[in-house]
Amino acid sequence: MKTKIPTGCACIDTALEGGLSSGSVNLIYGEPETGKSTLALQCAFRCSLQGLKTLFVDCDNTFSTERLFHLAAENFDSVSEMILLMKPVDFNEQTFVVDHLEDYITKNFGLVVIDTFNSLYRAKVAEASSKTAAFTLNRELNRQMAVIAQTAKMLDVPFVVTSQVKSVFSDISPLVVPVAQRILKFWADTVISLKPTDTPSVVQAVLEKNRNTQEVSCYLRIAETGIYEYELPY
Ligand SMILES: Nc1ncnc2c1ncn2[C@@H]1O[C@H](COP(=O)(O)OP(=O)(O)OP(=O)(O)O)[C@@H](O)[C@H]1O
Ligand SMILES: [Mg+2]
């Protein structure tokens, strides 16, 4: 059994028996600014502490060197060398990256992050001229997730895939509907949702129940130095 990659959030790592498993697809979804990128970056940082590289696919162009500096502190130089950054600028480029993952991931890689997996897809869907065009994009998103799941298993590395969801207000209560949620969840081995709370910088993390794990819920605080388990004072 290969080493697991800790997320750095104690409650999640305990539930995952040490962290992200090799060969697994780990979906982190939530509304904007709920800490998805911070958590993904923290996984990359923890991966580098184990002497393993991360392929970080930054689809939003939001990768923050400053954020990494705060996470890594005195290890910043060595940690940055362990992160290979790719920045697809549109959904076609994302397709290319996903189809060539094997070319980038050599044996010293311990993690792949795709952040945010559905943002370029959403931009393209917004431009789609017909339902048929949108359906074709949907199928492509599904195909990419299949490739990711297959690559994760074949190369025996964990993947973190982040997904942004919007708030949809129903008559009764706000419901959060992930875009293409069904597709992403279908392919994910682990699903973590991050939800805003009334306390600033604190989010609720729910590790959703699946065939291997029970549902676990805890709170996380987003600080300058990372995202950590947090005990609510009430
Ligand atoms: N260097 C930093 N120091 C402190 N807080 C930061 C830093 N960078 C980001 N934040 C804050 O952390 C919170 C979470 O940001 P993050 O980018 O991780 O969210 P996200 O879920 O990825 O958002 P999005 O959906 O927009 O991609 C935000 O409120 C942001 O302002
Ligand atoms: Mg983000």
55, 113 in Cβ contact below 8 A? yes
Q: How far is the CA of 35 from the centre of ligand 2 (A)?
A: 7
DSSP annotation of 201 reads: T
Sequence-ordered list of residues with C-beta below 8 angstroms from that of 29, at least 6 positions apart, any chain: 36, 162, 163, 164, 165, 178, 181, 184, 191, 192, 193, 194
Place of tokens 């923290």: 42
Q: How far apart are CA 148 and CA 25, in angstroms?
A: 8
Pocket test for ligand 1, best of 9, 29, 37, 161 (most atoms within 8 A of CB): 37
Cα dihedral 209, 59, 109, 103 sign: positive
* CATH topology assigned to domain 10-230: Rossmann fold (3.40.50)
Q: How far is the CA of 63 from the centre of ligand 2 (A)?
A: 8
Bridge-partner residues for 84, per DSSP?
A: 55
SS3 sequence of 204-221:
EEEECCCCCCCCEEEEEE
26, 161 in Cβ contact below 8 A? yes
Q: How far is the CA of 23 from the centre of ligand 1 (A)?
A: 27
**pLDDT value for 42:** 98
Residue 110 is which amino acid? G
Ion ligand 2 residue ranges (Cβ < 5 Å): 36-37
As for ligand 1, residues whose beta carbon falls within 6 Å of it are 30, 32-38, 60, 62, 64, 66-67, 70, 116, 164, 222, 224
Query: Per residue of the chain (234 residues), what is the pLDDT tens digit?
Result: 678 999 999 999 999 999 999 999 999 999 999 999 999 999 999 999 999 999 999 999 999 999 999 999 999 999 999 999 999 999 999 999 999 999 999 889 999 999 999 999 988 988 888 888 888 998 999 999 999 999 999 999 999 999 998 755 443 334 334 447 888 999 999 999 999 999 999 999 999 977 777 899 999 999 999 999 998 777
Nearest-CA residue for ligand 1 atom 29 is: 33
- DSSP letters, 122-151, are HHHHHH-SSHHHHHHHHHHHHHHHHHHHHH
**pLDDT value for 1:** 62
User: Which ranges of the chain does DSSP label H, i.e. alpha helix?
Assistant: 10-15, 36-49, 65-72, 76-81, 91-99, 101-104, 119-127, 131-155, 181-187
Long-range contacts of 85-88 (CB under 8 A, 24+ apart): 85/56, 85/58, 86/55, 86/56, 86/57, 86/58, 87/57, 87/58, 87/59, 87/61, 87/63, 88/57, 88/59, 88/120
Any idea what the Cα angle at residue 35 is, between residues 93 and 112, rounded to 5°? Answer: 40
Residue 109's closest CA among 17, 3, 9?
Answer: 3
Strands 190-196 and 226-230: unpaired
